[in-house]
Structure 1
């Protein structure tokens, strides 16, 4: 349903879903936190009034107590606490440093990231590391879990995940519980399939590791990419 046909209290949520959080005004963000307005004002109008009382400044709004917020018509204790909580979350987020992302400079760096997940398993699993343009790890996940001898890889899921995290590089890995880290024909085939698919999306396959309990094999180090 187009946004213009929705009740005004519902429009910010729909706009959030359709256009993203950056598209919302301050009053629309506050309206989502409150959930509803009062009998005379929509949530957006009420949010606009509250923000105007503090010169549209989030920092000043965060200084208001629950009792201060409850002075506005339509703001009961629950809504006031919701507003104060959202502002406190924002304050705590701002005070925390962004964690330093791990940089993958070579196959050993990738192995050190993955060995704790794969080295001691008794069945095969397929994992992927997703990296940004600076080769910093932005996401790590298991994609499949196979039987004793094989792990089936869905290339579509791999690249959907990469796109969701705005990744520009991928390192894939799976384990060989047998202890033999020599790549099979299937290992080589899936590597080339992923490499070629990545070219279409400008997402580079940087390496494929086969991990055993005590060592690993790197397609990149062996010149197989």
Structure 2
């Protein structure tokens, strides 16, 4: 019977090991085993992967030089599995060539406004977003929280901090737009800001600002000293 990964004990399965311990815990052979899914009648997927690696002295750079025809010479490796291995190695090569994209840093309300502007420009209805920041005040990502109508939108603090916790944010900036262009905060805006800020203090995820966005400018709670 073919040694399929699904027939292994759970703690021995590379996929489960990756989920439990993280990708760095897997050996090169285990990572390749995930790609090929099953081995041959004689070898498990991991053992077959070890055999392939041994043929290139366990050197991934040399493995990347093998052609599809070279790979399918191994019993248990068909064209589809060979293509999976070659594709993964090609992605790794391209990653090395890619430049690391520097995350934009927020040092002022103007920086926050420019970062969120592409997401809120020209909208005719209200939306509520948060900028999730790391410890260096670099933007991890902008995250949409809710979509409303022309006159308002509801933002649930639980959803705000769910997004922050999921992305390991160290701080957040609240943003919502006023399609009318009126930048005066409503009492509801003030109450929500206070509520979210207090929640952030308890969770050790500080709320640095709340921007009211319009196409022609913004209102910053922090800049106006009512934060």
TM score, norm. by length of structure 2: 0.91
- Alignment pair present for 1:127 and 2:148: no
Distance in 2 separating the partners of 1:8 and 1:39: 20
Shift of 1:176: 1.1
The one of 185, 191, 198 aligned to 1:196: 198
The one of 37, 46, 50 aligned to 1:44: 46
Distance in 2 separating the partners of 1:116 and 1:163: 24
Contact 1:174–1:211, Cα closer than 8 Å, also in 2: yes
Contact 2:68–2:82, Cα closer than 8 Å, also in 1: yes
Q: Secondary structure at the match of 2:13?
A: helix
Q: What CA RMSD, in Å, does the superposition of the two structures yield over aligned residues?
A: 2.1
The runs of 5 or more residues in structure 1 that have no matched partner are: none
Q: Secondary structure at the match of 1:161?
A: helix
Distance in 2 separating the partners of 1:5 and 1:43: 11
Distance in 2 separating the partners of 1:168 and 1:44: 39
The one of 168, 175, 178 aligned to 2:177: 175
Partner of 2:93: 91
Q: Secondary structure at the match of 1:97?
A: coil
TM score, norm. by length of structure 1: 0.91
Shift of 1:208: 0.5
Contact 1:9–1:31, Cα closer than 8 Å, also in 2: no
Instruction: Please identify, of 72-81 and 16-25, the stretch whose mean Cα deviation from structure 2 is larger.
Output: 16-25
The runs of 5 or more residues in structure 2 that have no matched partner are: none
Q: Secondary structure at the match of 1:179?
A: coil
Partner of 1:215: 217
Partner of 2:149: 147
